[in-house]
Amino acid sequence: MIDPARFRALPDRISAPRLARFMALQDGHVHRALRLYAWNTELTTAFWGPIAWLEVLLRNAVHDALRAGRADDWWNDPAVHLMQRERRAVDGAISTLQRRGVDEPSADDVVAATSFGLWVGLTDAGIPRDPRFGYETTLWQPRMVRAFPGLRTVRRKQLHRRLDEVRRFRNRLAHHEPIIGAPLERVRDDVLEIAGFIDTDAEQFLRGAHRIDEVLARRDCVIDEGRAVI
């Protein structure tokens, strides 16, 4: 553990615009602002692990549900109609792999290269009541619901809303944005519970392995004493 306030160059290296929000929250006290910035970083790293696990669980569960009884590249099945945003996500993953020298990517290659947004988008309604692009009736009811055996009374619409909030939060992490004002406990609970919708063992593991609560409890220790861990 180390106090970031010991290093005089850090405010300039981080930059005034990036520190501005932290300065405002600490009444212009630069040392405390630096410590809050460091705690935000520690909090970011604490969330990354559980969200990374959820992303892998989600894409594998949905992929397995959609490829059952089909070729593994289910997105090429004539019976599967994807909206433009999901089609672009799949095509973009394939193009990225080909640029990296994978001339004929396998289905597993493509799944691993896709974004979290693709899988979250597949839980959306698509175009409601559309016979081709209404995801509720073309993807969810006949297949995708099986990817979430623990859903119980939770409906697809509720699942999608919660997943989309996790997706937006994940993007904030990826862009190194402040997350200190986000609904942290709610995001934590959503990540853990959605993992449980997919697999109860996965949820139990994440509940026992994550360190989000520990980092949340360290806020005052970091800001008051400078005991930063990133």
Distance between CA atoms of 191 and 45, rounded to whole angstroms? 15
Mean pLDDT of 75-81: 97
Is residue 25 within 8 Å of 39, Cβ to Cβ? no
pLDDT (0 to 100) of residue 6: 96
Give 210's pLDDT tier (boundaries 50, 70, 90): very high
Give 12's pLDDT tier (boundaries 50, 70, 90): very high
pLDDT (0 to 100) of residue 59: 98
Mean pLDDT of 14-20: 96
Output the CA torsion sign for 122, 125, 126, 130: positive
Mean pLDDT of 190-209: 98
pLDDT (0 to 100) of residue 65: 98
**DSSP notation for the chain:** -B-GGG-TTHHHHH-HHHHHHHHHHTTT-HHHHHHHHHHHHHHHHHHHHHHHHHHHHHHHHHHHHHHTTS-S-GGG-TT----HHHHHHHHHHHHHHHHTT-SS--HHHHHHHS-HHHHHHHTS-BSTT-TTTBHIIIIITTTGGGG-TT-TT--HHHHHHHHHHHHHHHHHHHTT---TTS-HHHHHHHHHHHHHHH-HHHHHHHHHH--HHHHHHTHHHHHHH--B--
pLDDT (0 to 100) of residue 227: 95
Please provide the average confidence, as pLDDT, over all residues in the chain: 97
Give 24's pLDDT tier (boundaries 50, 70, 90): very high
Return the biggest CA–CA distance within the chain: 63
* Confidence (pTM): 0.95
pLDDT (0 to 100) of residue 41: 97
Task: Give helix 184-198 / helix 30-67 axis angle, nearest 10°.
Answer: 20
pLDDT (0 to 100) of residue 71: 97
pLDDT (0 to 100) of residue 142: 97
Mean pLDDT of 19-44: 97
Mean pLDDT of 110-122: 97
Mean pLDDT of 176-188: 97
Each residue of 145-182: b (16+ CB within 10 Å) or e?
A: bebbeebeeeebeebbebbebbbebbeebeeeebbeeb
Mean pLDDT of 23-52: 98
pLDDT (0 to 100) of residue 160: 98
- Using one digit for the tens of pLDDT, what is the confidence trace for 96-108? 999 999 999 999 9
Mean pLDDT of 127-140: 96
Among 170, 164, 161, 151, CA closest to 50: 170
Mean pLDDT of 110-126: 97
> What is the phi/psi pair of residue 35, to 5°?
-65, -40
- Using one digit for the tens of pLDDT, what is the confidence trace for 136-162? 999 999 999 999 999 999 999 999 999
Give 118's pLDDT tier (boundaries 50, 70, 90): very high
Structure token digits, residue 94: 């394939």
